[in-house]
Structure 1
Amino acid sequence: MSSSALPRRRFLGMATVAGLGTVVLTSCGDSDSDSGGKDGSGRTVVEWWHISTTEPAKSRWNAQAKAFEAKNKDVRIKVVSLENDAYKAKITALTSSGKLPDVYHTWGGGVLKQQIDAGLVEDLTDSVKSWIGDLVPASRDAYEFDGKTYGIPNDIGAVGFWYNKALFKKAKIDAPPTTWADFLDTVRTLKGAGITPISLGGKEKWPGMYYWAYLAMRLAGVDGMQKAADAKDFTGAPFVKAGEHLKGLVDLKPFQKGFLGAPYSSPTGQAAVMGTGKAAMELMGQWAPREQAASGKGLGDDLGFFPFPAVAGGKGKGTDVFGGGGGYALRKGAPKESVDFLKFFVSPESLRKLVPGTGIIPVNKEAESALKDPNLKAVLDMLNNATGFQLYLDQAYPPAVGQEVNDSVAALIAGSKSPDQVTRSITQVAKSQ
């Protein structure tokens, strides 16, 4: 959510983390200065806000600031490291005041677009055009608007199914499903073998949203998703059908007992249920193995990964990918050295130091060799072969719309909204924006 090293939802502020009182300020130099000014030694100060607050990511992020300073003696990187919820609250307040840090963490999508429309964000198109092509194409989508670049990704990820190979073997399932119909058959087979098919953290709502979003993308296609967003109308047949498919899954009762009250990360949450071998699958992003190990004990070699299945009759391709990542934007008028720092931070040299042990997937194609985990390599392969990319809906859309998607889909899963009501609720909120 994350440093890139934390779950995506933590960085969206949907999980319980520390509040504003936990803001940590660290500086790579000795003297204080306003961002964009000069310190006592005459160096240009670049203020950099990031959300990597857990180890080893925090130390590695800050070490890269010092490494940049060592190569650029006339620049000081003033590092501000904040917990995820604290960051969201602080950056929202700064956006309202019209004063953002020189370099600040962003997830792109709707929130970044609002900052751009308010005239607060630097257009990076010309200043990065000589090297932006080194980055994985899918990683750049969330930061590009109207053909212009307003942010640089530092990690990228995608959602897919994580599964327990041992439980599949126990149920005599030879291979992961490739179609939605096969997926439902897999669920039935697992249930027949006395195995809980799917772990779901229903309390936090966003994990359930992934199912509806992927189904909608498979049925409407990436272009159809964009057209619905532009028209602020999600009542079309593909979106209703997505809800019907999800309801069909829910009707099979595939989730663990008490899933509606289960969080994502906790000793009794979605990740723990999966990580202790009590469920066969979970639909989650690339951070899943780390969270399974942290909340449960992890599955080791028994853990596998497969893409979200294709859906018959849909306009979307089975190789279209749903996901997102983290990156950095610059405030309007930030020192030119800020761009130099971003180039350094996403260089192969830097990413080879940042990737090991942090769980991030490198955005620079020349740093992909630093990724050793076979399952994360499978995620990267899926991204590199993506025919289309859809950003997480609660990031792609304005915040109120994204929240309504989460809320309405959660209501469908709980049985209190119909597929048609879901689409009408989302459309109503979208048109009010």
Structure 2
Amino acid sequence: MTAQFSRRSLLGLAGAGAGALLLGGCASDESSGPDGPQRIRWWHIQNTDPMLPVWAEMARVYETRHDNVTIQVEPLENEVFKAELASATKAGSPPDLFQSWGGGLLREQVDAGLVKDITAEVSPWIGQLLPAALQPYTVDGRIYGIPFDIGMIGFWYNRDLFAEAGITSPPSTWAQLLTAVGKLKAAGIVPIALAGKDKWPGHYYWAYLAMRIGGLGALRRAAEDGNFNTPDFVAAGERFRELIALQPFQPGFKRAEYGSSDGQAATMGNGEAAMELMGQWAPSIQASSSTSKLGIGGQLSFFTFPVVEGGKGEATDAFGGGNGFAVGRDAPSATVDFLRTLLRAENQRRSAETGAVLPTNLAAVGRIKDPNNQVVAAHLAVATGFQLYLDQAFPPAVGEQINKSVAELIAGSKRPDQIVRDITRVAKKR
């Protein structure tokens, strides 16, 4: 977000009453035995259609089948969720079941003893899930979370607006992307929608450019030594500045959020921009955020992030991640069983049919009906490498600095060589 949805299925604004529930403490009501009354506090960020009612119905059905279990569902907007989770974990009281993207933050939660090791409980059924999707939730060989969604970041574009600008095929190189932006501007079309206020969408550009220029090896080395002050990362910023200099983003993008009524997704969904760089959840959020609640329908298509001429990265290296759930350390015994219910094939199929989820249960993959999600799944199937969102892969302080620094690059207040020094300074403090 990002998917940050988004990062990750990053959805709209929270209901007015949602935040008020968060300050009442996260301690669970659990009896001394599994048959006693149990209350599961469940925080998730699927707080608008299409997944909001789906999750609610799954919780309701589980309650009807387990008389002793109550599920307190608290849907939250992404940024609100992250802030409230930080407060809850700092107080040592994480929710029982909560949204997680794995990676660096989950490792910190593991080290702090805030989440439950669920390896033994999930081992009977974990083989039904895509192995790659589990990697961000595995820490030192132990499992602390379960992914329900997996996907990648790419460009979603409006075919009609491309045609209006005389663009006959999506760009496959960075130079072609810059040319396409120029053609769109010449035709009076906003080339790219961006949620500048949220920061995380901007980091996708710099991260992908670093992958295309330096290859996945550059990111692995940075993870090991904390050094981003290298020619490849500086070059990523320089190439990104080539795009920024063209002023490709919609008016007011610096104040725009991702899921608000006038934000990045709505700009695309209303046909007011030609492209956005976003994850697999983009079509559904474009639709729900648009004035018509339908988005641009069949005009929407997808292409992968272009290669950079002379770069060491592969065109088939993917950048992205997924959505999952971690289990709080004091969660009632029924929590993992409820999580298992969410991941059952029939429920994963139902989630996939909404178009907002690319399922991780192998038995549900065939139920991806949305043609856009089918395209994303096809690209993932042939991916030669995979990199988790940088603001999730690294510890939170590093991820926050990456997002902040890229936002400064976009605003023109910092140069590429300055932002890599800033990020390195934070990373070296780990």
Superposition TM-score tier, normalisation by shorter sequence: 0.7 to 0.9
Structure 2 residues not aligned, in runs of 5+: none
**How well do the aligned residues superpose, as a CA RMSD in angstroms?**
3.1
Matches within 5 A, 1:121-136: 121-136=115-130
Aligned to 1:347: 344
Structure 1 residues not aligned, in runs of 5+: 26-32
Q: Tell me the SS of whatever aligns to 1:349.
A: helix
Which amino acid counterpart does residue 429 of structure 2 have in structure 1?
Answer: S
Matches within 5 A, 1:243-254: 243-254=237-248
Aligned to 1:256: 250
CA 266–312 in structure 1, closer or farther in 2 if over 3 Å, else same:
same
Which amino acid counterpart does residue 400 of structure 2 have in structure 1?
Answer: Q
1:50 to 31, 38, 43: 43
1:135 to partner: Cα distance:
1.8
1:228 to partner: Cα distance:
0.2
CA 14–395 in structure 1, closer or farther in 2 if over 3 Å, else same:
farther
2:76 to 65, 79, 83: 83
CA 17–421 in structure 1, closer or farther in 2 if over 3 Å, else same:
farther
The answer to whether the 8 A contact 1:198-1:279 is kept is: yes
Aligned to 1:303: 300
For 2:13 and 2:297, locate their aligned partners in 1 and report how far apart those are by CA, in whole Å.
25
1:142 to partner: Cα distance:
1.8
For 1:331 and 1:127, locate their aligned partners in 2 and report how far apart those are by CA, in whole Å.
14
Aligned to 1:428: 425
For 2:365 and 2:54, locate their aligned partners in 1 and report how far apart those are by CA, in whole Å.
18
For 1:154 and 1:390, locate their aligned partners in 2 and report how far apart those are by CA, in whole Å.
18
1:278 to partner: Cα distance:
2.7
Q: Tell me the SS of whatever aligns to 2:312.
A: coil
For 2:428 and 2:15, locate their aligned partners in 1 and report how far apart those are by CA, in whole Å.
32
Which amino acid counterpart does residue 262 of structure 1 have in structure 2?
Answer: A
Aligned to 1:28: none
Q: Tell me the SS of whatever aligns to 2:229.
A: coil
Matches within 5 A, 1:71-150: 73=66, 76-84=69-77, 85-150=79-144
Aligned to 1:8: 6
Q: Deviations over 1:146-201 (max 9, x none)?
A: 33321101122321101111121122222111122222222233334343322222
Q: Tell me the SS of whatever aligns to 1:156.
A: strand
Count residues in correspondence: 422
Q: Tell me the SS of whatever aligns to 2:257.
A: coil
The answer to whether the 8 A contact 1:180-1:312 is kept is: yes
1:14 to partner: Cα distance:
11
Q: Deviations over 1:3-51 (max 9, x none)?
A: x9x95259889978758643289xxxxxxx9444259x94362624132
1:415 to partner: Cα distance:
1.5
The answer to whether the 8 A contact 2:193-2:249 is kept is: yes
Matches within 5 A, 1:400-411: 400-411=397-408
The answer to whether the 8 A contact 1:9-1:15 is kept is: no
Q: Deviations over 1:308-367 (max 9, x none)?
A: 112233332222222222211223465554333322211111112233336122111211
For 1:63 and 1:167, locate their aligned partners in 2 and report how far apart those are by CA, in whole Å.
38
Matches within 5 A, 1:8-27: 8-9=6-7, 18=16, 21-23=19-21
**243-252 or 45-54, larger mean C-alpha shift:** 45-54
Q: Deviations over 1:80-118 (max 9, x none)?
A: 324235543443233223333443322212221111011
Percent identical across equivalent pairs? 48
Aligned to 2:379: 382
1:125 to partner: Cα distance:
3.0
CA 203–105 in structure 1, closer or farther in 2 if over 3 Å, else same:
closer
For 1:379 and 1:328, locate their aligned partners in 2 and report how far apart those are by CA, in whole Å.
22
CA 265–386 in structure 1, closer or farther in 2 if over 3 Å, else same:
same
CA 407–189 in structure 1, closer or farther in 2 if over 3 Å, else same:
same
For 2:247 and 2:48, locate their aligned partners in 1 and report how far apart those are by CA, in whole Å.
36
For 1:409 and 1:19, locate their aligned partners in 2 and report how far apart those are by CA, in whole Å.
33
Aligned to 1:29: none
**TM-score normalized by the length of structure 2:** 0.87
Which amino acid counterpart does residue 290 of structure 2 have in structure 1?
Answer: S
Asked if 1:162 corresponds to 2:147, the answer is no
CA 222–351 in structure 1, closer or farther in 2 if over 3 Å, else same:
same
1:406 to partner: Cα distance:
1.3
**367-376 or 84-93, larger mean C-alpha shift:** 84-93
The answer to whether the 8 A contact 2:14-2:47 is kept is: no
The answer to whether the 8 A contact 1:197-1:254 is kept is: yes
Aligned to 2:264: 270
**150-159 or 47-56, larger mean C-alpha shift:** 47-56
Q: Tell me the SS of whatever aligns to 1:196.
A: coil
